[in-house]
Amino acid sequence: MLKDTFLITGFPGKLAQQCIYATSIVLLLISLYPGLVVAMTAEPYEASLQSADTPRSSESFSVQEAFDKAGELLWRRPAQVTGFLKPDQVRWYSLRLDSSTGSNQVLEIPHPLLGVVDIWARDSQGKSMQDRFGMRVPFSHHKHPGNMAAFIIPGDFVAPVDVLIRVDNQGLMEFSTTVRSVDEWLRHEQGLNLFYGAFYGAMLVLLFYNLFLAWGLKDASYLLYVLFVACLLVSTSLLSGFGKQFLWPDQVGIESRYLFLVSACNTVAGLSFLNVFLGIRKISRPLWLISLGIIGAALGLALLYTLGYQPDWLAGLIYLNIFFSLIYYMVVPVVAYLRGVRYARFAILALWVYPISVLLYFWQLFSGEYWLRPLHLWMAGGMLLEGILLSLALADKINLLRQDKQRIERQAASQRRQFARGLIHTQEREREKFAAVLHDSIGHDLLILKHGLKNLAGWSDNSQVTNREILHRLQEQCENALVNVRQLSQQMHPHMLKRLGLSAAIETMLENAANAGGLEWAADLDDVDDKLDMEQASTVYRVIQEALNNILKHAQASEVLVSMRDRGPQVVVSIKDDGTGLPPHAKNKNWPSSGFGTSNMKGRVELLSGWFRLIRTPGEGTEVRFGLPYR
Q: How many CA atoms lie within 13 A of 418 on its CB side?
A: 17
Residues 107, 247 share a domain = no
What mean pLDDT, rounded, does the chain reach? 75
Task: For residue 423, tell me if it sits in a domain.
Answer: no
Say whether both 231 and 379 belong to one domain: yes
What CATH number does residue 79 fall under? 2.60.40.2380
Task: Identify whether 432 is part of a domain.
Answer: no
Q: How many other C-beta atoms lie within 10 A of the C-beta of residue 603?
A: 18
**Mean pLDDT of all residues in 144-163:** 79
- The residue type at 438: L
Region 78-93 average pLDDT:
67
pLDDT-based confidence at 511, cuts 50/70/90? confident
pLDDT at 102: 45
User: What local confidence, expressed as pLDDT, does residue 70 receive?
Assistant: 67
Domain housing 276: 2-41+191-402
Establish if 612 belongs to a structural domain: yes
Range among 239-243, 379-383, 483-487, 502-506 rated most confident: 502-506
Look at strands 128-133 and 559-567 and give their pairing.
unpaired
Mapping DSSP to helix (H, G, I), strand (E, B) and coil, where does residue 623 land?
strand
DSSP string, 327-373: HHHHHHHHHHHHTT-TTHHHHHHHHHHHHHHHHHHHHHHHH---SSS
Give the model's pLDDT for residue 98: 75
Mean pLDDT of 327-351: 85
Instruction: Count the domains in the chain.
Output: 3
Residue whose C-alpha is closest to residue 284's, from 216, 340, 361, 351: 340
Write down the pLDDT at residue 249: 75
With a pLDDT cut of 90, the percent of the chain lying above it is 6
Task: List, in sequence order, every beta strand (DSSP E) within 26-142.
Answer: 50-55, 83-85, 89-97, 105-109, 116-122, 128-133
- Greater model confidence, 442 or 626: 626
Q: What is the pTM of this model?
A: 0.58
**Helix %, strand %, coil % for the chain, to 5?**
60, 15, 25
Lowest mean pLDDT among 13-22, 116-125, 442-451: 13-22
In a domain? residue 545: yes
30 and 89 part of one domain: no
Per-residue pLDDT at 55 exceeds 80: no
Residue 72 predicted with pLDDT over 80: no
Whether the pLDDT of residue 367 is over 70: the answer is: no
Each residue's pLDDT tens digit, 293-332: 999 999 999 898 888 887 878 878 888 888 888 889 888 9
Percent of the chain whose pLDDT exceeds 70: 73
User: Residue 101 carries which DSSP code?
Assistant: T
pLDDT band at 593 (very low <50, low <70, confident <90, very high): very low
CATH of the domain at 592: 3.30.565.10
Which pLDDT does position 296 carry in this prediction? 92
Q: Ranked by mean pLDDT, which of 107-116, 295-304, 446-455 comes out on top?
A: 295-304
Q: Which of 376, 402, 428 is the C-terminal boundary of a domain? A: 402
The per-residue pLDDT for 467 is 65
Per-residue pLDDT, 294:
93
Examine the fold and report which residue of 186, 205, 223 is the final residue of a domain before the chain moves on.
186
Rounded Cα distance, 580 and 4, in Å = 50
SS3 per residue for 563-590: EEEEECCEEEEEEEECCCCCCCCCCCCC
Residue 456 reports pLDDT greater than 90: no
Residue 484 falls inside a structural domain: no
Residue 47, CA distances (Å) to 96, 188, 264, 412 in order: 11, 22, 36, 71
Residues 51 and 31 in one domain: no
**Which one has a higher pLDDT value, 400 or 272?**
272
pLDDT of residue 612: 92
The domain boundary, picked from 186, 212, 231, lies at 186
pLDDT in the model for residue 292: 93
